[in-house]
Structure 1
Amino acid sequence: MKKALIIYGSTTGNTEDMAGMVKAEFEQADFEVEVKEVTQAAVADLTADHDLLLLGCPAYGDDEIELQEDFAGFYEKLNGIQLNGKPFAVFAPGDSTYEHFCGSVDMLEDKMNDLGGKMVNDGLKIDGDPTDAEGEIETWVESTAASVG
């Protein structure tokens, strides 16, 4: 069975809800899924024995992208690790009225690529409440799961 690790940060609960939905869908795709809230995760978790890394982080800020406060500290500790082609994908709920709608997805994809990760699917950006986007989440998980060798 393939293993996935979801690390997420959440302030309002939307990203936590989304992480739970992503977990359930990956379990339907026969993955064993571990979920960690970012304050309970260590950077070393990214290099552990998982077939897929999934990062969930909302973004804030009008003038520039600001990661969710708990995730920002984790992000700052990422420099120096080597992902050596480890498959990853990123997801976030957001609000499309902001200039940098789900900018955290782009920011995390760039960082993970810089660290040698292998992006297996475009990031999932949900506008508003993730519980209103079950079909979109299901489709994204199916294509992400299928791209993990």
Structure 2
Amino acid sequence: MAKALVVFGSTTGNTESVAGYVAKTLEGEGMSVDVKNVSGVQAAGLADGYDLVVFGSSTWGDDDIELQEDFQPFFEELDKANLSGKKVAVFGCGDSSYTHFCGAVDAIEEKVGQLGADVVAASLKIDGSPEKDEAVAWARDVFKNAA
């Protein structure tokens, strides 16, 4: 059975909700899924033993791209996560009224690509409160492309 890891950083709960929708969808497709809050994980060796890694972070800040506060230190250590050759997908929640709408998603996607990960689906950027149907459809696409 393929194994997936969903790592999220959430301040208001929106990104956490999406992480839950993604995990349940991947499980429904037959994957074994671990869901972890980024505040409780270390980057070193994170991807070991997983076929798919999904990252989720909200974006803050109008002048600069700011990852969710718990995600920032993890992001700085991401090169230790053994992502080379791993299938990866990225999602996030933000506010389209800000200059860098879901800029954290772009930053994470760019970095995992530089680390040799195989980004398997276009990132999911959610404006405001998440809608379950949108997250489920995206997670199904991620699963299909990761299989």
- What band does the TM-score fall into relative to the shorter chain? over 0.9
Q: Decide whether aligned partners of structure 1 residues 82 and 137 sit closer, same or farther in structure 2, where only a CA change above 3 A counts.
A: same
Q: How much is the aligned-residue C-alpha RMSD, in angstroms? A: 1.3
Q: Map of 1:18-29 to 2, 5 A cutoff? A: 18-29=18-29
- State the Cα distance separating 1:102 from its structure 2 match: 0.6
- State the Cα distance separating 1:148 from its structure 2 match: 1.1
SS at match of 1:46: coil
Query: Does structure 2 retain, via aligned residues, the 8 Å contact 1:120–1:148?
Result: yes
Query: Does structure 1 retain, via aligned residues, the 8 Å contact 2:45–2:82?
Result: no
Query: Does structure 2 retain, via aligned residues, the 8 Å contact 1:46–1:53?
Result: no
Instruction: Give distance in 1, aligned partners of 2:103 and 2:110.
Output: 11
Give the unaligned 5+ runs of structure 1. Answer: none
- State the Cα distance separating 1:80 from its structure 2 match: 5.0
Identity %: 46
Per the normalisation by structure 1, the TM-score is 0.93
Query: Does structure 1 retain, via aligned residues, the 8 Å contact 2:66–2:104?
Result: yes
Per the normalisation by structure 2, the TM-score is 0.94
Give the unaligned 5+ runs of structure 2. Answer: none
- State the Cα distance separating 1:110 from its structure 2 match: 0.5
More moved, 78-87 vs 58-67? 78-87
Query: Does structure 2 retain, via aligned residues, the 8 Å contact 1:81–1:115?
Result: no
- State the Cα distance separating 1:145 from its structure 2 match: 0.2
- State the Cα distance separating 1:17 from its structure 2 match: 1.1
